[in-house]
Structure 1
Amino acid sequence: MENNKSENLCQIGEIAKMAGTTVRTVRYYMEEGFIEPAARSAGGFYLFFPQAADTVFFVQKLRDAGFALKQIRALYEARKNGATGDEASSRVLALLEEQKRAVEKKIADYQKLEVEIREAMDLVSRCQGCERAPNRETCRKCSVVTSREKLPLPCQAII
């Protein structure tokens, strides 16, 4: 490959660095078909357009949010397999709406969990200075615990 053609291309390590992930992850997403090398260097290294880092970053963020590769792949295939831009955009929009709803539900679940954790922190902070042995029997009789109508979820698990 000529140097002037490869100037704008990046090696796999550069893509990993730009996407904030590992070379192994980039290779995996390449094997899964999310990104494709644009060329190979004279030394046989895969070369990618810089935009591949955006794809890797987006796929990784969806994975971090709990989406399965199957769901993520459906998004890419909807665009690729649309006969027209209109058809592809309709499919992609439907899938994105589905993903948005799933993320909104996760956010709501995390917000509820955050409230539970804050309440547990408040309760547990009131135990500082307690000289009794921390066990279920002792703690369940303690006024710090009995004064509450309901124990926060983390405390239910440990008290």
Structure 2
Amino acid sequence: MKGAPRSKSRREDVADGTLTTGEMARLSNTTLRTVRFYEEAGILAPIARTEGGHRVFERPQLERLMLVADMREAGLSLEEIRELLETKHKARSGGAAAEAACQILSKHVAELNAKINVLSRLKEDLERTAAATGACNGCEQPDFPDHSDQCGRVAKADAQPRGMRVLWSLSRK
């Protein structure tokens, strides 16, 4: 990072409320590598370096990192995140910025809602599958897994969740 001023000591930085790369990582539940990656990508901007060469960030950068990490975890690409973060600065006016941000945010909210629906459906199926496989605990059937669909412990395929039918090769007849 070229041109960043050097601060006198870390002790003075702590008094100023600034954070090192390690503190940013720890407080955001990310890694040093993640913080460095976002800095290199231009998403985070340190304000200085300590005498030891450590990057120093202002507190608002922590909040930015946490939002970016959540957006990445939710599946947004780095380019989508960058577009959103730059919306205000690329607009000609506050109204234009708000309109652009609302449009981008609405698109991402719709995508997240679709993912939430899929995840909720999958979660329910996996929970039901886990409960259904519990019926097989203690199974000593010698022809397992070839005839597991004929086992007396397992309910008929139609009554089973999709995951159980697939994992146990239960066929609907």
TM category (shorter chain) comes to: 0.7 to 0.9
User: Is 1:75 the equivalent of 2:61?
Assistant: no
> What's 1:125 paired with?
134
Q: TM-score, normalized by length of structure 1?
A: 0.86
1:21 is aligned, of 20, 23, 30, to: 30
> What's 1:45 paired with?
54
User: Is 1:31 the equivalent of 2:40?
Assistant: yes
- Would the aligned equivalents of 1:127 and 1:144 in 2 still touch at CA under 8 Å? yes
Q: TM-score, normalized by length of structure 2?
A: 0.80
- Would the aligned equivalents of 1:40 and 1:46 in 2 still touch at CA under 8 Å? yes
- How many percent of aligned residue pairs carry the same amino acid? 25
When the two chains are superposed, the root-mean-square deviation of aligned CA atoms in Å is 2.2
Q: CA deviation at 1:152?
A: 2.2
> Structure 1: where are the runs of 5+ without partners?
none
Q: Deviations over 1:86-126 (max 9, x none)?
A: 11111111111111111111111111012211221232122
Q: CA deviation at 1:55?
A: 0.9
CA distance in 2, matches of 1:37, 1:129: 58
CA distance in 1, matches of 2:131, 2:52: 60
Q: 1:146 to 1:44 in 2, by over 3 A?
A: closer
> What's 2:4 paired with?
none
- Would the aligned equivalents of 2:157 and 2:165 in 1 still touch at CA under 8 Å? no
CA distance in 2, matches of 1:147, 1:73: 51
Q: CA deviation at 1:131?
A: 2.2
> What's 2:3 paired with?
none
Q: CA deviation at 1:38?
A: 1.4
